Amino acid sequence: MHKPILLGVNVDHVATIRQARGSSYPDPVHAALQAELAGADGITMHLREDRRHIQDSDVERYAACAQTKLNFEMAATDEMIALALKTKPVDVCIVPESREELTTEGGLNVINAENNLTITCKEFNQNNIRVSLFIDPDNAQIDATVRTGATVIEIHTGSYAEAKTLEAQQHELEKITSAAAYAAKQGLIVNAGHGLTRHNVAAIAAIPQIHELNIGHSLIADALFEGLPTAVRTMKAIMQQARAAAS
Ligand code: PXP
pLDDT value of residue 61: 98
Q: How many CB atoms lie within 10 A of CB 209?
A: 18
Question: In this predicted structure, which of 44-58, 93-107, 200-214, 219-233 has the lowest mean pLDDT?
Answer: 93-107
In 3-state terms, what secondary structure has residue 194?
coil
φ and ψ at residue 91, rounded to 5 degrees: -125, 145
Residue-wise pLDDT for 69-79, tens only, equals 999 999 999 99
Q: Whose CA is nearest to atom 12 of ligand 1?
A: 194
Determine contact, residues 93/132, Cβ cutoff 8 Å. yes
Residue-wise pLDDT for 163-190, tens only, equals 999 999 999 999 999 999 999 999 999 9
Buried-exposed string 24-47: b where 16+ CB fall within 10 A, e elsewhere: eebbbbebbbbbbebbbbbbbbbb
Rounded (10°) CA dihedral 187, 93, 116, 106: 100
Mean confidence (pLDDT) of the chain: 96
Please work out whether the CB of residue 217 comes within 6 Å of at least one atom of ligand 1. Answer: yes
Q: How far is the CA of 116 from the centre of ligand 1 (A)?
A: 23
Which region, left, alpha or beta, applies to residue 51 given φ > 0 means left and ψ of -120 to 50 means alpha? left
Residue-wise pLDDT for 191-217, tens only, equals 999 999 999 999 999 999 999 999 999
**Does residue 2 have a pLDDT over 80?**
no
Please work out whether the CB of residue 236 comes within 6 Å of at least one atom of ligand 1. Answer: no
Q: Where are the beta strands (DSSP E) in the chain?
A: 6-10, 42-46, 70-74, 91-94, 130-135, 152-156, 189-193, 210-215
Question: In this predicted structure, which of 2-6, 19-23, 153-157 has the lowest mean pLDDT?
Answer: 2-6
Calpha distance 116→2 (Å, rounded): 37
Residue-wise pLDDT for 121-155, tens only, equals 999 999 999 999 999 999 999 999 999 999 999 99
Please work out whether the CB of residue 72 comes within 6 Å of at least one atom of ligand 1. Answer: no
Active-site residue list: 46, 73, 194
pLDDT value of residue 247: 79
Which residues, listed in sequence order, are joined to residue 91 by a DSSP beta bridge?
Answer: 71, 130
**Percent of the chain, pLDDT > 90?**
94
Calpha distance 12→44 (Å, rounded): 8
Please work out whether the CB of residue 46 comes within 6 Å of at least one atom of ligand 1. Answer: yes
In 3-state terms, what secondary structure has residue 195?
coil
pLDDT value of residue 1: 65
* Domains assigned to the chain: 6-246 (3.20.20.70)
pLDDT value of residue 99: 66
Which residues, listed in sequence order, are joined to residue 73 by a DSSP beta bridge?
Answer: 46, 93
Q: How far is the CA of 134 from the centre of ligand 1 (A)?
A: 10
Please work out whether the CB of residue 216 comes within 6 Å of at least one atom of ligand 1. Answer: yes
Q: How far is the CA of 182 from the centre of ligand 1 (A)?
A: 22
